[in-house]
Amino acid sequence: MSKFKKKTSTSQEIPTSALPDIIFMLLFFFMVTTVMRENDLLVEQNIPKAEQLRKMQKKTLVSYIYIGKPKDTNKYGTEPRIQVNDVLIQPDDVIQFVNQEKDKLSEAERDQITMAMKVDTEAKMGIVSDVQQGLRDANALKVLYTSLKESEMDNL
C-alpha cells in the first residue's frame, strides 16, 4: 500500500456539487414529459371494472374514443354522446376520425391501430354498437374496452 500512498497528496474528493444539477435536470425532464394528457373530457367517465385486463401493446397505435353522458347537459342534452379529441361527434363521423388517426401512422402500422373505448358504465349498448359499426367500416378491428382492475375503486 505504501507504494500508492505517495500520490495521495492531491485531494481525492470528487466534486459532487454538480450532481444535484444533473438530478434536477432529470427531475424536470420527467416532470415536463409526463404529460398527464387528460384531454378535456366533455362527457362523464365512470369506467367499468373488470378482471381479465390486458395491457396495450404499443401506445402509439392507440386512439381514444370516449362515450358517456355530456357534462354540460344544458348544451348537449342528457343522452350519451361520443367524444374524440376535443369534440363531440355523431356516430357517422367515426369513420372519418379513424381515417384521420390512421393517417398519422406509417403504412405498415395502419392495420394495427387499436381503438381504446372509454365508455361510461351508464351508457347503453346501442351507441357502443353504432361506434363499432363505424370502426368495422373503417377497418379498425382492434378494440380495447378500457376498464379498471376490480380492486381499483377510484376512477380515473
Partner 1 sequence: MARSRRAKNEVNAGSMADIAFLLLIFFLMTTTIASDKGLAISLPPKPDPNEPPPDVKFNERNIFKVAINSADNMAVEDERLDDISTLKNEAMEFILNFGNPNAEAQAFFNTLVPELKAMSKHDPNSSEFPTKPAVISFKTDRGTSYEKYINVLDELQGAFYEIYAKQLGVSVDKVREEMEPTLREKYNELKKFIPMNISIAEPTKIGGN
Cβ atoms 134, 24 nearer than 8 A? no
Q: In the set 51, 86, 103, 107, which binds partner 1 (CB under 8 A)?
A: 51
What part of residues 74-113 is at the interface with partner 1 (CB under 8 A)? Answer: 79
Which residue stretch of 2-10, 82-90, 99-107, 144-152 sits at the interface with partner 1 (rule: CB under 8 A)? 144-152
Say whether residue 54 binds partner 1 (CB under 8 A). Answer: yes
Alpha-carbon span 10 to 78, nearest angstrom: 77
Say whether residue 147 binds partner 1 (CB under 8 A). Answer: yes
Alpha-carbon span 132 to 71, nearest angstrom: 23
Say whether residue 17 binds partner 1 (CB under 8 A). Answer: yes
Instruction: Report which secondary-structure segment, H or E, holds 24.
Output: helix 19-33
Q: In the set 8, 9, 11, 30, which binds partner 1 (CB under 8 A)?
A: 30
Residues ≥6 apart with Cβ < 8 Å to 100: none
Cβ atoms 86, 94 nearer than 8 A? no
User: Max Cα separation, the chain?
Assistant: 86
Which residue stretch of 2-10, 82-90, 97-105, 119-127 sits at the interface with partner 1 (rule: CB under 8 A)? 119-127
**Sites of contact with partner 1 (CB under 8 A):** 16-17, 19-20, 22-24, 26-27, 30-31, 34, 36-38, 48, 50-56, 59, 62, 67, 79, 116-117, 119-129, 132-133, 135-137, 139, 141-149, 156
